[in-house]
Amino acid sequence: MSSSHKTTVGDIESEVLAFTAGRDVELDHALIEVDCIGSAAHVTMLAGMPVDPPLFAQDDVRNVIRELVAIMRQARAGSFSITLDDQDVHLAVERTLTKRLGDLGKKIHTARSRNDQVAVDLRLFAKQQLAEAMDETVRLAGVLLTFAETHHDVPMVGRTHMQPAMPSSVGLWASSFVDALLDDLALLKGAYDLNNQSPLGSAASYGVPLPIDRERVSALLGFARPIHNVLYANNARGKTESVILFALSQVMLTLSRLAQDLMLFTMPEFGYFSLPAEYCTGSSIMPQKKNPDVLELVRAKSSRVLAHAVGVYDIVKAAPSGYNRDLQEAKEPFMDGLNTTRSSLRIMSLLMEKLVVNPDALLKGFSPDVFATDRALELVGEGMPFRDAYHHVKAHLAELEDMDPAEAIAKKRHLGATAGLDFAQYKKRIEAVTSAVASDRNGFHQAVSKLLGVEFPSLEK
Ligand code: ARG
């Protein structure tokens, strides 16, 4: 038996409604606040539109924005609901405004479609999430840097093919991940900048026959600029999310490899590092177990985030121009990718702060052959051609018995080697990212505070 539901945009058979709304009714809770911010900018712009009579008087704008702020506060208190009949956050907010303000509520969707509305919501959401993710990445880079500096002169066997290769240090190992995270931060910033453009005014995908001011709306929301072409403004949905997810997947790649190294080096057979017991989990049958489940989950979650990136890419790869409902399916993996990466970053910072270094175990890892290459290069310094030195050392490995790991790592003084690590340079680069993120965030908070007439994000008067 089929029943139909009355929605703001027509009667829809109940199963069709449930199927098409999908998880939006839950997921859109994360978008309530940004939806209200987007609407505040849209209404402000509409009030200035040169039409006679004006669409909104200044008092109307104030009333609408006051109600939008009330909805934001309700959302924070957990008391704003999105019903299945609403389908999504956009119509839930419109319904609420119409209930409270009558015709004013019915007017706010002028010159706009849910297509550009959800696109702007996702960009505002991503802007904030990415700023947090960048801060969390910076935090982990900082923890790794402190760890690297503290243990910069602790010798550690460097490996290739997982086999002992050459003398290295804990400082070199740890700061290699600082470098990786700085690369990842450049990708995140690139994704942030791409995301930082306003799609509003695209409407259904093709603009509107009204003199809207797309630049004004973009500036009100603190975006760098509007996306120029209205069709692209819509087509960029999904592409933008996939770019962000691919950047996040690079962060996860770094975390996964750090996790893998830690799993290896905390094995009792190595014992280079250890994790406090409360950062491990036990077994329901084996009483002695202390497992690095966190690290295993981070490793698996890197697959998850990459799968989301590929999944979203795949959703849009054959999407015809103009809005298609397929885009809605990108929302869940997008939100999950951000969430998963952010929680992985936080847990890895926590773990790295507590990681214990065991210098004795690290020293035990040095078998004499680890010094073979260093010895050959020493002979080169005395005038022997490299290939001859190589064969000489290969034939006299026993001569390497008395080499000293600490001395060996102190001898590599060139740029970026064990004794040539420039920690100040890392600090400067980390600080540069920190202040860039802070200034972007402040700019956004200021724009939104001005728009809403209350402090954002606190929402206090
Ligand atoms: N929830 C929808 C989405 O995420 C909003 C846009 C709906 N647009 C439409 N033409 N049905 O895509």
pLDDT tens digits along 135-153? 999 999 999 999 999 999 9
Q: Is the pLDDT of residue 231 over 70?
A: yes
Examine the domain organization and report whether 183 and 261 are in the same domain: yes
What residues pair up with 357 in beta bridges, in sequence order?
A: 273
Say if 212 falls within a structural domain.
no
* Residues 188 and 142 placed together within one structural domain of the fold: yes
Alpha helices per DSSP H over 196-229: 214-220
Taking 60 as the threshold, does the pLDDT of residue 213 lie above it? yes
Banded pLDDT at 3 (limits 50, 70, 90): confident
Confidence (pLDDT) at 426: 98
pLDDT, residue 402, reads 86
Pick the residue whose CA is nearest to atom 11 on ligand 1. Answer: 325
Q: Tell me if 457 is assigned to some domain.
A: no
- Taking the C-alpha atoms of residue 453 and residue 374, their distance in angstroms, rounded to an integer, is 67
Whether 14 and 159 share a structural domain: no
- Do 11 and 141 belong to one domain? no
Q: Do 185 and 203 fall into the same domain? A: yes
Q: Is the pLDDT of residue 288 over 60?
A: yes
Residue 238 lies in a domain: yes
Around ligand 1, the residues with Cβ closer than 6 Å are 24, 88, 114-115, 118, 323, 325, 327-328, 331
* Residue written as token pair 């006051």: 66
Check which CATH number belongs to the domain holding 269 and give it. 1.20.200.10
Could you tell me the CATH number of the domain that includes residue 41? 1.10.275.10
Query: Which of the four pLDDT bands, split at 50, 70 and 90, describes residue 1?
Result: low
318 and 404 in a single domain? The answer is: no
How many other C-beta atoms are found inside a 10 Å radius of the C-beta of residue 95? Answer: 17
Residue 150's pLDDT is 98
How many whole angstroms from 370 Cα to the centroid of ligand 1? 61
The confidence band for 2, taking pLDDT boundaries of 50, 70 and 90, is low
- The answer to whether 152 is a known catalytic residue is no
* Helix axis angle, 230-265 to 170-195, nearest 10°: 170
Q: How confident is the model at residue 263 (pLDDT cuts 50, 70, 90)?
A: very high
Residues 6+ apart with CB under 8 A from 305: 245, 248, 249, 252, 337, 340, 341
What are the residues whose beta carbons fall under 8 Å from the beta carbon of 3, sequence distance 6 or more? 13, 14
How far apart CA 440 and CA 133 sit, in angstroms, is 13
Are 140 and 64 contained in the same domain? Answer: no
HSE, side-chain direction, 13 A CA sphere, residue 345: 28
Domain of 379 in residue numbering reads as 367-410
pLDDT per residue over 105-139, tens digit each? Answer: 999 999 999 999 999 999 999 999 999 999 999 99
The per-residue pLDDT of the chain, averaged, comes to 97
* 392 pLDDT more than 70: yes
Which residue among 325, 327, 329 is best mutated to probe the pocket of ligand 1, counting the most ligand atoms within 8 A of its Cβ? 325
C-alpha angle with apex 168: 162 to 173, nearest 5 degrees? 75
19 and 43 inside one domain: yes
The reply to whether 14 and 94 lie within a common domain is: yes
Percent of the chain whose pLDDT exceeds 90: 95
What is the tens place of the pLDDT at every residue in 5-37? 888 888 999 999 999 999 999 999 999 999 999
- 231 located within any domain: yes
Residue 120 lies in a domain: yes
Looking up tokens 């010895």, which residue turns up? 375
* Mean pLDDT confidence for 288-307: 96
Unique residue bearing structure tokens 């409360």: 278
Mean pLDDT of 399-422: 96
**Of the given ranges (186-190, 240-244, 395-399), which has the lowest mean pLDDT?**
395-399
What integer is the mean pLDDT of 314-341? 98
| Strand 10-13 to 4-7 pairing | antiparallel
Is 39 labeled as catalytic in the residue annotation? no
Query: What distance in angstroms lies between residue 345's CA and the mean position of ligand 1's atoms?
Result: 32
What gap in Å lies between CA 237 and CA 312, rounded to an integer? 10
- The structural domain count of the chain equals 3
Among 85, 110, 135, the domain boundary falls at 110
What integer pLDDT is reported at residue 239 of this predicted model? Answer: 98
**Cα(210) to centroid of ligand 1, in Å?**
22
186 and 233 together in one domain: yes
**Packing angle, helices 32-47 and 89-101, rounded to 10:** 60
29 lies in the same domain as 82: yes
Question: What's the whole-model pTM score?
Answer: 0.97
What pLDDT is stored for residue 7 in this prediction? 86
Is 417 inside any structural domain? Answer: no
Residue 216 lies in a domain: no
131 lies in the same domain as 45: no
